[in-house]
Amino acid sequence: MASTLKGKPKMLEVPLRSLLCMMATVVVSAFLLTLIASSISSPSDCACSRANAVGVDAASTPDGRLAVLVPFRDRFDELIEFVPHMYSFLRHQGLDFEIFVLNQVDQFRFNRASLINAGFKTVRQYYDYIAIHDVDLLPLNLNLSYAKPQSGRPFHVAAPNLHPRYHYSTFAGGILLITTQDFEMVNGMSNKFWGWGLEDDDFYDRMIEAHFKVTRPTNVATDSSNTFRHIHDSAWRKRDTNKCFDQNRETRRKDRTTGIIDVNYQLRATHHLKINNLPFTLLNIELECDKVLTPWCECDQSSFFNIFSGVF
Ligand SMILES: [Mn+2]
């Protein structure tokens, strides 16, 4: 017995050692293979996954990747200021970001919310959070953080006490940071808002109803006069405040139905452009309009219904 017991460890010693040795070899070679495989495949993976959408390298930071979504139509003067400004502002914060200009190319009235839904669908798989960003609102105070907000806590950068023009407490427009997951959870924004205004108020309600807490900058020493530059000459850039059909009534009702899931659009082109050698992506988005659901996507002033609705 004793000899057998004594012998066993000796008998096992060699096979065990060689087994361990084999295992170590397997582990090390698997590790090396993985290293080689990843060094070969990751650049091309990045090239297909992100470069299709963005055209630049895919280095990511632990803080997450930010897609700046900029609804746009016919604002070239503002854009050539916006892109260089945002580069210097966001680089200062060390953020991993890309700028997407969502260019509405159809003939319907401007639809900021649908552009954001469409842009979001195009980029969501590559980004951890988005900034819904007006092209004419430039952040000046470097203490305005564009870091990834916590889940359930969208960060409204253009707070009512800081925005040059809008000061009501439920204002959520201008610039808003929200995680990809949170934006998805509330089905994005309503698609019913054609023309200027109210889509951001509706989105505020969506966030509140989802029990999100909208957070805003604190300890910012600037105010509504010097936190942002608002490049908006309202005589030159007239807001489309027309109301036709039953738009007034319909868009004052909460819409919890339309959003990311049913935004109707065609992505007509993806342009990789540069301003001052700084890259951004311009997406040509052609929105489609359901004229039964939202006939006010076109306000034809001569139509019978408009004359009728104008009288009453
Ligand atoms: Mn404006």
Looking at the domain assignment, is residue 306 inside a domain?
Answer: yes
Q: How far is the CA of 215 from the centre of ligand 1 (A)?
A: 22
Looking at the domain assignment, is residue 215 inside a domain?
Answer: yes
Q: How far is the CA of 136 from the centre of ligand 1 (A)?
A: 6
Between CA 230 and CA 228 the distance in angstroms is 6
Q: How far is the CA of 255 from the centre of ligand 1 (A)?
A: 24
Please indicate, yes or no, whether residues 140 and 271 belong to a single structural domain of this protein: yes
Q: How far is the CA of 134 from the centre of ligand 1 (A)?
A: 7
CATH of the domain at 114: 3.90.550.10
Token pair recorded at residue 107: 């003939």
- Residue ranges making up the domain that contains 113: 64-311
Please indicate, yes or no, whether residues 133 and 219 belong to a single structural domain of this protein: yes
Please indicate, yes or no, whether residues 185 and 81 belong to a single structural domain of this protein: yes
Please indicate, yes or no, whether residues 40 and 178 belong to a single structural domain of this protein: no
Q: How far is the CA of 109 from the centre of ligand 1 (A)?
A: 16
Please indicate, yes or no, whether residues 162 and 295 belong to a single structural domain of this protein: yes
Q: How far is the CA of 231 from the centre of ligand 1 (A)?
A: 7
pLDDT at 24: 54
Please indicate, yes or no, whether residues 14 and 87 belong to a single structural domain of this protein: no
pLDDT at 251: 85
pLDDT at 7: 38
309 vs 8, more confident: 309
> 137: Cβ–Cβ under 8 A, 6 or more apart, which residues?
158, 163, 174, 175, 228, 229, 230, 231
Measuring CA to CA, which residue among 123, 132, 105, 118 is closest to residue 264?
A: 118
Please indicate, yes or no, whether residues 43 and 171 belong to a single structural domain of this protein: no
Q: Which residues of 180-204 are buried (b: 16+ CB within 10 A; e: fewer)?
A: bebbbbbbbbbbbbbbeebbbbbbb
pLDDT at 4: 38
Tell me the pTM: 0.79
The helix or strand, by DSSP H or E, that contains position 128, with its residue range, turns out to be none
Q: Tell me the per-residue pLDDT of 158-186, one tens digit each, with 9 for 90 and over.
A: 999 999 999 999 999 999 999 999 999 99
Q: Tell me the per-residue pLDDT of 105-133, one tens digit each, with 9 for 90 and over.
A: 999 999 999 999 999 999 999 999 999 99
Q: How far is the CA of 232 from the centre of ligand 1 (A)?
A: 5
Mean pLDDT is lowest, of 24-33, 177-186, 238-247, 272-281, for 24-33
